[in-house]
């Protein structure tokens, strides 16, 4: 049997899907709200916000130290709707936790009760031989995608759901995320897209209350780890604060929190979180300012002579699964210091990497295929016009095909990061963003035979 306890809610269901042994996940829970000078703080989100103000010269060292002390007041995960909160919620939606487990704050007494009940339940699951393969079905993943959109969840959720599904033998195409996003309203008024934090979400009814609000969009017959269906688990749940968990006729957004983009710059897809971006940037054309890698970015982003304006499109290359390597969270590219001084707080930014689920802004992420593979992102040059149109799901490099072919013929791949060991294995077998950034040899396949015992 497996009982997963920890801060990485994507790892436990992924491993459980691979092993296919009776398994239950115990979410770590979010930390308490942060506080600073009378303001409620959300970890990650408000760090990015005030770090920009510090870089702009608007926040003193003393104020920054106070903010650091006030932003993490207890054990637990980030209390915004970042990757941890999103994936805890999606693990519950998939049926891998006890009902209501994902929303309980880490230090709440109910959390210990839930952990105890989980320990008892996993023993029962072993006797019942209830395995993840009975729970992690195609319908369950559709439920998880729908809830992700209603939560305004982390952009990382797409990669993680695709990876978990791949281990479970379910194919999740990016198109399915976009189909469900177009028809699912964002109801969770949570940072970084909205105003509130996980503690507020819990007191407002938690995930079961949100599921009731969108129950007609879910497959309520899906089995969960307690042996009951998702529908039975949320029966009787109520919303206690309509500002935190919005009603269907008063959504935070009429559509889901994440959009999937296509175009000649991202043939295999890219994503953006429109609900966390400034609206005027969701339809934008501007000249590229290109950084070849993260070192180039750090060396030049605050150069007073950098040729950049608020209309520019910042582009970071070589930051994907192979180029990073490891697809690091660099996607919320910093606003150039001279633009911060002018009051600019958001710009269109494009990369083949990820960003923290607590991040915000008009950041186009997960561009596939990545630049290190010679994807179109590798061919972008400073000054090229790039068009982003979220409503039409379009990401286009405004350079003619003949010129792009000329650039492609001259392109050289970056040096390989590793020649041996685990790093080399990683580079040989990790998949692209649209395939979950997982090892290809861990996708579902024939059972591994048990070794003979002599």
- The reply to whether 376 falls in a domain is yes
Q: What CA–CA distance (Å, rounded) separates 249 from 138?
A: 29
Whether residue 192 is preceded by a cis peptide bond, meaning omega within 30 degrees of 0, is: yes
pLDDT above 70 covers a percentage of the chain that reads 98
What average pLDDT does the segment 332-346 reach? 97
Q: What is the pLDDT of residues 403-453, one digit of tens each?
A: 999 999 999 999 999 999 999 999 999 999 999 999 999 998 887 788 888
Residues 27 and 167 reside in one and the same domain: yes
Whose CA is closest to 157, among 81, 218, 98? 81
Look at residue 3 in the predicted model and tell me its pLDDT.
Answer: 58
Residues 402 and 334 reside in one and the same domain: yes
What average pLDDT does the segment 386-391 reach? 98
Whose CA is closest to 287, among 253, 267, 313, 262? 313
Characterize the bridge pairing of strands 313-316 and 283-291: parallel
Looking at the DSSP assignment, which residues form a beta bridge with residue 385? Answer: 287
Q: What is the pLDDT of residues 120-134, one digit of tens each?
A: 999 999 999 999 999
Residues 57 and 85 reside in one and the same domain: no
- The reply to whether 338 falls in a domain is yes
Which listed residue (193, 356, 359, 371) is catalytic?
356
End-to-end CA distance of the chain: 25
CATH number at residue 276: 3.50.30.80
Q: What CA–CA distance (Å, rounded) separates 241 from 243?
A: 5
- The reply to whether 148 falls in a domain is yes
Looking at the DSSP assignment, which residues form a beta bridge with residue 2? Answer: 23
Query: How far are the Cα atoms of 213, 403, 406, 421 from residue 410, in angstroms, in the given order?
Result: 54, 11, 7, 31
Residues 173 and 114 reside in one and the same domain: yes
Whose CA is closest to 263, among 353, 405, 397, 379? 397
Residues 90 and 39 reside in one and the same domain: no
Residues 6+ positions from 190 with CB-CB distance below 8 Å: 80, 81, 85, 151, 152, 196, 197, 198, 201, 244
Residue 224 CB neighbour total at 10 angstroms: 24
Confidence of residue 6 (pLDDT cuts 50, 70, 90): low
What average pLDDT does the segment 52-68 reach? 93
DSSP states along 333-360:
PPPPHHHHTTT----EEEESSB--TT--
Residues 266 and 384 reside in one and the same domain: yes
Q: What CA–CA distance (Å, rounded) separates 182 from 196?
A: 24
Structure tokens at 177: 């995320």
Residue 25 CB neighbour total at 10 angstroms: 28
Residues 110 and 226 reside in one and the same domain: yes
Contact 77, 106 (CB under 8 A): yes
pLDDT above 60 for 1: no
Q: What is the pLDDT of residues 244-302, one digit of tens each?
A: 999 999 999 999 999 999 999 999 999 999 999 999 999 999 999 999 999 999 999 99
- The reply to whether 241 falls in a domain is no
Question: For tokens 């209501």, what's the residue?
Answer: 100
User: Where does residue 84 rank: exposed (0-12), middle (13-18), buried (19+ CB within 10 A)?
Assistant: buried
pLDDT above 90 covers a percentage of the chain that reads 93
Per DSSP, 280 falls in state: G
Average pLDDT, the chain: 95
Look at residue 448 in the predicted model and tell me its pLDDT.
Answer: 76
- The reply to whether 158 falls in a domain is yes
Look at residue 252 in the predicted model and tell me its pLDDT.
Answer: 97
Residues 53 and 99 reside in one and the same domain: no
Q: Quick one: how far is CA 380 from the chain centroid?
A: 25
Residues 374 and 399 reside in one and the same domain: yes
pLDDT above 90 for 348: yes
Q: What CA–CA distance (Å, rounded) separates 10 from 354?
A: 15
pLDDT above 90 for 13: no
| Domain that includes residue 141, residue range | 2-31+79-234
Structure tokens at 419: 């020649």
Residues 153 and 22 reside in one and the same domain: yes
Domain count, the chain: 3
394, 410, 426: which is the final residue of a domain? 410
pLDDT above 90 for 23: yes
- The reply to whether 339 falls in a domain is yes
What average pLDDT does the segment 67-89 reach? 94
- The reply to whether 446 falls in a domain is no
Residues 333 and 380 reside in one and the same domain: yes
Q: What is the pLDDT of residues 167-212, one digit of tens each?
A: 999 999 999 999 999 999 999 999 999 999 999 999 999 999 999 9
Whose CA is closest to 338, among 362, 315, 304? 304
Alpha helices in 204-335 (DSSP H): 206-213, 230-234, 294-300
Residues 94 and 198 reside in one and the same domain: yes
14, 46, 70: which is the final residue of a domain? 70
Residue 356 annotated in active site:
yes
Contact 248, 215 (CB under 8 A): no
- The reply to whether 126 falls in a domain is yes
């Amino acid at each position: 049997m497996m009982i997963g306890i920890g801060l990485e809610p994507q790892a436990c269901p992924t491993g459980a899907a691979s092993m296919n042994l009776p398994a239950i996940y115990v979410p770590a829970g979010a930390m308490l709200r942060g506080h600073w000078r009378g303001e409620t703080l959300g970890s990650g989100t408000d760090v990015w916000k005030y770090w920009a103000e510090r870089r702009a010269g608007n926040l003193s060292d003393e104020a920054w130290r106070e903010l650091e002390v006030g932003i993490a007041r207890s054990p637990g995960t980030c209390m915004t709707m970042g990757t941890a909160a999103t994936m805890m919620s999606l693990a519950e939606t998939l049926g891998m936790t006890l009902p209501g487990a994902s929303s309980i704050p880490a230090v709440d007494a109910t959390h210990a009760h839930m952990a105890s009940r989980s320990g008892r339940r996993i023993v029962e699951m072993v006797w019942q031989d209830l395995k993840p393969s009975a729970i992690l079905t195609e319908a369950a993943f559709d439920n998880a995608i729908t809830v992700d959109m209603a939560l305004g969840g982390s952009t990382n959720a797409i990669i993680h759901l695709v990876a978990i599904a791949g281990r479970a033998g379910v194919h999740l195409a990016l198109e399915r995320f976009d189909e469900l996003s177009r028809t699912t309203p964002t109801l969770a008024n949570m940072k970084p897209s909205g105003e509130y934090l996980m503690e507020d979400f819990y007191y407002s009814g938690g995930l079961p209350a949100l599921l009731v609000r969108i129950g007609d969009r879910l497959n309520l017959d899906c089995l969960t780890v307690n042996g009951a269906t998702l529908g039975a688990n949320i029966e009787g749940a109520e919303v206690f604060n309509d500002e935190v968990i919005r009603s269907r006729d008063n959504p935070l957004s009429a559509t889901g929190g994440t959009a999937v983009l296509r175009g000649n710059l991202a043939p295999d897809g890219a994503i953006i979180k429109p609900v966390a971006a400034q609206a005027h940037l969701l339809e934008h054309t501007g000249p590229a300012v290109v950084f070849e890698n993260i070192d180039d970015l750090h060396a030049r982003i605050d150069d007073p002579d950098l040729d950049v304006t608020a209309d520019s499109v910042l582009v970071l290359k070589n930051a994907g699964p192979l180029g990073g390597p490891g697809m690091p969270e660099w996607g919320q590219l910093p606003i150039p210091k001279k633009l911060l001084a002018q009051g600019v707080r958001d710009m269109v930014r494009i990369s083949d990497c990820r960003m923290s689920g607590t991040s915000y802004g008009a950041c186009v992420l997960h561009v596939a295929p990545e630049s290190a593979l010679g994807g179109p992102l590798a061919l972008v040059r400073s000054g090229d016009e790039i068009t982003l149109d979220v409503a039409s799901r379009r990401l286009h490099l405004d350079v003619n095909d003949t010129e792009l072919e000329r650039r492609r013929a001259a392109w050289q791949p970056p040096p390989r990061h590793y020649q041996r060991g685990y790093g080399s294995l990683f580079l040989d077998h990790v998949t692209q963003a649209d395939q979950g950034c997982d090892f290809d040899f861990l996708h579902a396949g024939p059972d591994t035979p048990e070794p003979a015992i002599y």
